[in-house]
Amino acid sequence: MYFSLTRFGFSAFIILYLAFPSIFCQAAEYPSKPITLLVGYAPGGGTDLAARLISGYFSKKWGQQLMVVNKPGGNLVPCVLELYKAKPDGYTLMVDTNGASSIQTAIMRNLPFKLEDRIFLTNFLINPTFYFCSANKPWKTLKEAAEYAKKDPANFKWAAMDISSTTTLSLIQFLDAIGVDILKTKKMDFKGGPDVMVAGANGEVDFANYGIGPALPLIESGKIRPLALISPQRIKRLPDLPTVKEEGFPGLTAAQWCGISGPPKLPKEIVAKWDQEMKKAAADPEFTASIEKLGMIVHYLPSEAYKKMVWDEMKLFTDLAEKIGVRPK
Amino acid sequence: MLEGPLWGIWNAMSPLNLLFGLIGCILGTLVGVLPGLGPASAVALLFPVTISLPPVPAIIMLGGIYYGAMYGGSTTSILMNIPGESSSVPTTFDGYEMAKQGRAGPALAIAAIGSFVGGTLAIMALSFTGPLLASLLFYFTAPDYAGMIFFSLVSLATLSGKSILKGILMVLTGMLLATVGCSLGGIPCFTFGSVKMMGGLDLVSMVVGLFGISEIMVSLEEEVATISRAKLGKLMPTLQEMRNCIGCTLRSTGLGFFLGLLPGMVPTIASFMAYDVEKRVSRNRANFGKGAIEGVCAPEVANNANAQAGYIPMMAFGIPPTPTLAMLLAALMIFGLEPGPLLFTKNADFVWTIIGAMYVGNAILLILNLPLVGLWARIVHIPYKLLAPIILGLCFLGAYAIRDDMFDVAVAVLFGIMGYMAKKFDWPTPPLLLGFILGPKLEGYLRPSLSVSGGSMAIFFTRPISLGFILLTFLLIGIRFYLRKIEKTGQAQV
C-alpha cells in the first residue's frame, strides 16, 4: 500500500472545507458568496431594471452573483421589513427608493421599523420624472400650467398614482408650491403607469407626472407635451427639456432616486466597499451608458450625503403629508 | 429583393436568430406546461443574460418565451384539469372533458393548431396595419374601461356554474380577496396586523391553489384519476371537427386581438371572453362543458391573438399591455431600440425581423407541439401516485417563486382547500378568479371616473363607449331572462 501526500492533502482539504466552510471563507474578501438584492417592486419597472443592471455589472466585476429578489406590494413595507430582519453581513441588501424610505416614513403610521436604524451605503442614480400634459392642451410651459391651475382649481384634473409614489408626491409639491388648495382640485387616482400615460396623452387629465424613460415614445410621437424635468440636470436624450429649476421652480426637489441600503448594524467595511466600487462604476462609461439608455442619470452619492438627502426629503414630505391631511399631526 | 414581412421572415431564419427563437419557444412551452411558473418570471430571470446577447436574437428569444407559454398552458389543462397558466383556465372546461372521453389527442392538437392560426392571423393584422391600430387605445377613457369591465364581469359571472347566484357570489368573493393588502392611500386592508398580508394575495398562488392543489386532492380521493383509464384514442381531430372550429377561430382571433390592443386586458381576460362568446353563439353550444372541441379552440386562439396584438401598443407607443411585455420593452430600451413611431421608420429592418420572427416562432411552436401531442397524451399513463407529488411540488415552487416567501405557499394551500370545498359543494371556482383579476381593474377605473365627475354616476351614461357597454350588459341580462322563460314554458308544455 502506498501513501500519496498530495492525495491525502487534497482529501483533507475537501473534508475540512465541507465540514467548516467558514474557515476558508472568512479569509476571503467580501463578497465571497452570492448577494441578494431586494427590490420592493414587480419585475419590469424602473427600479427593478436599475437593480438588474447593477446586478449584471457587479456580478461580472466581482465574480459573485447578485440575485435580484422581487418583494412587491404593501407599500414596500414587507420588503423593507425583510431587509431589517436579514443578517447584517452584507449578503442581503436592498435597492432603496424614495417610496421605501422617505415617503414611507412620512405617510405611514406604526411602521414595524425605524428609518434611523437603516444603513445607507451609496446612492447611484436618479430616475427623472417630468411634468407633462396632452399635446392638445393650450399651455406650453410649466408656468402657464400653473396659471391655469390657479385660475380654476376645481376643474384642474391631475393624475395621481398610489400615495407612496414619488410622482404623486411631486405633483402635490407642485400644487402646494403655486399656492393651490389640493383638496379643491380634481385628483384622479390611477392604478398603473400605462393608465397615467394614456390619460395624459388623450387629455383626460390636464396635468401628470411620470418617469421620462417609459414616456419617450409618446413624446416622440407628439402625443404628450413635456413641460419640465424633475432632476438636478437635463438628460442627454432630450437636451431641450428644461429642469424645474430652470423653469423657475427651484423648490420642486422630489426627484426619484435609487440607492443601496442595508440592514441595521451593517459593518463599516462593507459600506466602504460599496461606496468605493460605486464611485468607480459611476466613472465607467459602459455603466453610465447602460443607465442612460433607460432615460436615467447616474448620480453617485457617498454614504453620509445619501443619508442626509433621505432625511431632508423625509422632513419635507412629512410637512406636505400633514398639510393635505394624509397623515394626521 | 424581398421587402417588409417577407424580408423579416427571411432574416428571422438566419441560423443565429433561428437558434434563439427555438430556445425561446422551448423555454416558453416548458414555462407554459409547468403550473405556477409564468412567462413574466421566466423573462425576468433571463433578463441579465439577454442583455449581453446581440439585440435581435435576444428580443426574439424573450418573445418566444412569451408566446410559447400561451401554447404550453393548455397541455396540463387538458390532461389533468390543471391549467399551466391562468390564461388556460377556460381550456379546462371542455379540454379535460375531452380527455376523459379519450379524446385528449384531438384536444391537444386543436389547441396547438388554434394557437397557431390565432397567433398568425394576429401577426398578419399587425404587419399590415402597423402602428395605425395602436391609436385605438387613446379613444378609451377611464369611464369606458369601467363600462367594459362591468360588462365582462356580468357576462362572465355565470360562465361555468349552473346557478347564477353562486356565480355572482363567487365573483364578489374574488373581488373582496383582491382588496387584501394596501390601498392606494397607503392604508392596510384586511391584513389583521400582519406585514406579510400587506403585500396582498398573488394571482399565482390563487391559480395553483384553486385549480392545481384542489384538483390533486380530488383526484387522490378518487384513488385513480379517471383519465388514466381512458384509452389514448386517435391523435388528430377529424376534418369535420376542424371545419366546425373555423368560425370560432375567426371570432376568437378578432376578440383576442382587440383586447390585446388595450392596456390591462391580459390574455386571461381574452380567453375567458372568447369561451363565453362561443358558449353563446356556437352551433355546438349545447355541448359546451361536455367536451366540445370549440370550447378548447376558443380560449387558446384568443390568448395567442391577444399576446401578439400586445406588441402593437408596446412598439408604437411604449405602452406595455402585460407585465411580460413591460420586460420586453425594457430590453428594447437597453439595446437603444426605443419604441415609438420612429422605430418603424428608423429601425424598420429591426421591426420587420421581429415580426418575421413571430411568424417563424409560431411555426416552430406548431412543429414542436403537434408531434408532442402523442408524448403528452401518454403522460396520463404515468401512475397518478408518481405524477401527483411532482405537480404538487411544482405548484409549491411556483407559489414560492412569487417573492421567495413561504407566505405565498401557505396562501396557495389555503386556496387549495377552498377549491376542494368548492368542488365538493358544487360552487364554481372560475368566477372567483375573474373577480380577483377584474375587481381591482374595475376599482382602478371607477375611482378616476367618479373623482372627475364629482361622484356622479352620470359620467358612465354620457360617453358613447361606456354607454354602449352598459347597454350591452343589460341586453345580455334581458336575453338570459327571456331564454329562461322560454325554457320554462317549453318544459311546462312537455
Q: Which amino acid, one-letter code, is at A105?
A: T
Per-residue pLDDT, averaged over B454-483, amounts to: 87
Closest by CA position to A295, among listed A185, A227, A213, A191: A213
Report the Cα–Cα distance between both ends of chain A, in Å, rounded: 84
Residue B307 has pLDDT above 60, yes or no: yes
Q: Which of A226-240, B274-288, B336-350, B445-459 has the lowest mean pLDDT?
A: B336-350
What backbone phi and psi angles, to 5 degrees, belong to A97? -145, 175
Task: Tally A–B CB contacts below 8 A.
Answer: 174
pLDDT band for B413, please (50, 70, 90 cuts).
Answer: very high
Q: Which residue has the higher pLDDT, A87 or B194?
A: A87
Taking the CA atoms of residue B443, residue B444, residue B447 and residue B452 in that order, the dihedral angle to the nearest 10 degrees is: -150
Sign of torsion over alpha carbons B67, B68, B69, B70: positive
Yes or no: say if B140 and B469 are a contact pair by the CB < 8 Å rule: no
Residues 251-310, chain A: which have Cβ within 8 Å of B?
290, 293-295
Q: Which amino acid, one-letter code, is at B25?
A: C
Per-residue pLDDT, averaged over B27-39, amounts to: 86
Angle at B281 between CA B279 and CA B283, to 5 degrees: 90
In the 8-state DSSP scheme, what is residue B188?
A: E
Angle at B390 between CA B389 and CA B396, to 5 degrees: 85
A194/B264 Cβ within 8 A: yes
Instruction: Give the model confidence (pLDDT) of A75-94 as tens digits.
Output: 899 999 999 999 999 999 99
Chain A contact set for B47 (CB, 8 A): 43, 52
Whether the ω angle into residue A31 lies within 30 degrees of 0, i.e. cis, is yes
B317/A112 Cβ within 8 A: no
Closest by CA position to B216, among listed B447, B394, B473, B7: B394
For residue B165, give Cα distances in angstroms to B158, B161, B162: 8, 9, 9
HSE, side-chain direction, 13 A CA sphere, residue B323: 15
- Report pLDDT for A327: 63
Per-residue pLDDT, averaged over B146-174, amounts to: 84
Closest CB to B181 among A70, A74, A290: A74
Tell me the nearest-neighbour CA distance from B457 into chain A, angstroms.
15
ipTM of the complex: 0.84
How many whole angstroms separate alpha carbon B85 and alpha carbon B72? 8
Residue A228 has pLDDT above 50, yes or no: yes
B40 interface with A at CB cutoff 8 Å? yes
pLDDT band for A329, please (50, 70, 90 cuts).
Answer: very low
Per-residue pLDDT, averaged over A177-203, amounts to: 90
Q: Which residue has the higher pLDDT, B470 or A3?
A: B470
Closest by CA position to A155, among listed B452, B182, B311, B147: B452
Closest by CA position to A305, among listed A124, A127, A122: A122
Yes or no: say if A217 and B338 are a contact pair by the CB < 8 Å rule: yes
Chain A contact set for B137 (CB, 8 A): 198
- Report pLDDT for B1: 43
How many whole angstroms separate alpha carbon B340 and alpha carbon B131? 9
Q: Which of B47-61, B87-101, B308-322, B480-494 has the lowest mean pLDDT?
A: B480-494
Angular region, A118: left φ>0, alpha ψ -120 to 50, beta rest: beta
Angular region, A198: left φ>0, alpha ψ -120 to 50, beta rest: alpha
A203 interface with B at CB cutoff 8 Å? no
Yes or no: say if B152 and B269 are a contact pair by the CB < 8 Å rule: yes
Query: What predicted TM-score, i.e. pTM, was given to this entire model?
Result: 0.87
Closest by CA position to B126, among listed B310, B273, B353, B325: B310
Q: Which of A197-206, A265-274, B108-117, B475-484 has the lowest mean pLDDT?
A: B475-484
How many whole angstroms separate alpha carbon A223 and alpha carbon B225? 56
Residue of B nearest to A160 (CA): B448
How many whole angstroms separate alpha carbon A6 and alpha carbon B336? 54
- Report pLDDT for B369: 87
Grid cell at residue A154: 376645481
Angular region, A130: left φ>0, alpha ψ -120 to 50, beta rest: beta
Sign of torsion over alpha carbons B42, B43, B49, B53: positive
Closest by CA position to B297, among listed B74, B489, B24, B65: B74
Per-residue pLDDT, averaged over B295-310, amounts to: 94
User: Helix or strand or coil: residue B14?
Assistant: coil
Grid cell at residue B261: 390592443
Tell me the nearest-neighbour CA distance from A101 into chain B, angstroms.
14
Closest by CA position to B368, among listed B114, B112, B120: B112
B263/A198 Cβ within 8 A: yes
Instruction: Give the model confidence (pLDDT) of A95-152 as tens digits.
Output: 999 999 999 999 888 899 999 999 999 999 999 999 999 999 999 999 999 999 999 9
How many whole angstroms separate alpha carbon B439 and alpha carbon B200? 14
Residue of B nearest to A108 (CA): B186
How many whole angstroms separate alpha carbon A20 and alpha carbon B401? 30
Which residues neighbour B199 within 8 Å (Cβ) at sequence distance 6 or greater?
A: A71, A72, A73, A74, A78, B181, B403, B407
Instruction: Give the model confidence (pLDDT) of A239-269 as tens digits.
Output: 999 999 999 998 888 899 999 999 999 999 9
pLDDT band for B230, please (50, 70, 90 cuts).
Answer: low
Closest CB to A221 among B188, B317, B440: B317
Residue B10 has pLDDT above 80, yes or no: yes
Yes or no: say if A55 and A301 are a contact pair by the CB < 8 Å rule: no
Residue of B nearest to A204 (CA): B141
Instruction: Give the model confidence (pLDDT) of A10-30 as tens digits.
Output: 666 666 565 555 555 554 688
Could you tell me where the beta strands, DSSP code E, fall in B262-367? none
How many whole angstroms separate alpha carbon B361 and alpha carbon B122? 13
Q: Which of A247-261, B157-171, B218-232 has the lowest mean pLDDT?
A: B218-232
B51/A70 Cβ within 8 A: no
- Report pLDDT for A253: 85
- Report pLDDT for B264: 81
User: Helix or strand or coil: residue A186?
Assistant: strand
B142/A204 Cβ within 8 A: yes
Instruction: Give the model confidence (pLDDT) of B124-153 as tens digits.
Output: 998 888 777 888 888 889 999 999 999 988
B338 interface with A at CB cutoff 8 Å? yes
Percent of chain A with pLDDT over 90: 67
Q: Which amino acid, one-letter code, is at B416?
A: G
Residues 156-185, chain A: which have Cβ within 8 Å of B?
157, 159, 161-164
- Report pLDDT for A15: 62
Q: Which amino acid, one-letter code, is at B136?
A: L
Residue A57 has pLDDT above 80, yes or no: yes
Instruction: Let me know how long chain A is.
Output: 329
Tell me the nearest-neighbour CA distance from A21 into chain B, angstroms.
25
Tell me the nearest-neighbour CA distance from A317 into chain B, angstroms.
14
Per-residue pLDDT, averaged over B52-72, amounts to: 90
Closest by CA position to B300, among listed B77, B31, B63: B77
How many whole angstroms separate alpha carbon B428 and alpha carbon B489? 27
- Report pLDDT for A114: 94
Per-residue pLDDT, averaged over B457-462, amounts to: 90
Neighbours of A116 (CB within 10 A): 9
pLDDT band for B284, please (50, 70, 90 cuts).
Answer: confident
How many whole angstroms separate alpha carbon B434 and alpha carbon B172? 9
How many whole angstroms separate alpha carbon A164 and alpha carbon A106? 9
- Report pLDDT for B491: 62
